[in-house]
Amino acid sequence: MPKLKSNSGAKKRFTLTGSGKIKRKHAYHSHILTKKTKKRKRNLDHFAIVEAVDVRRVKEMLVL
């Protein structure tokens, strides 16, 4: 059986933490920033953890 390929888009968007959780960035922080408040932009700046229901799907894309 051939090796499975990782989804190259997923490789760029997700990273693993030391404890094995999957880290992701927030959406809506790339453009049209003038109408968004400072607080909203600041909160979008932090990383988030992928929700439990999506972990299996992301791991399949990353071939973990």
pLDDT tens per residue, range 21-39: 999 999 999 999 999 999 9
Phi, psi (deg, nearest 5) at residue 53: -70, -20
- pLDDT category of residue 64 using cuts at 50, 70 and 90: confident
Averaged over 37-62, what is the pLDDT? Answer: 97
pLDDT tier at 1, thresholds 50, 70, 90:
confident
Sheet of strand 22-24, all strands in order from the earlier edge strand to the far edge:
15-16, 22-24, 48-49
Question: What is the spatial distance between Cα 49 and Cα 61, in angstroms, rounded to a whole number?
Answer: 16
Q: What is the mean pLDDT of residues 30-59?
A: 97
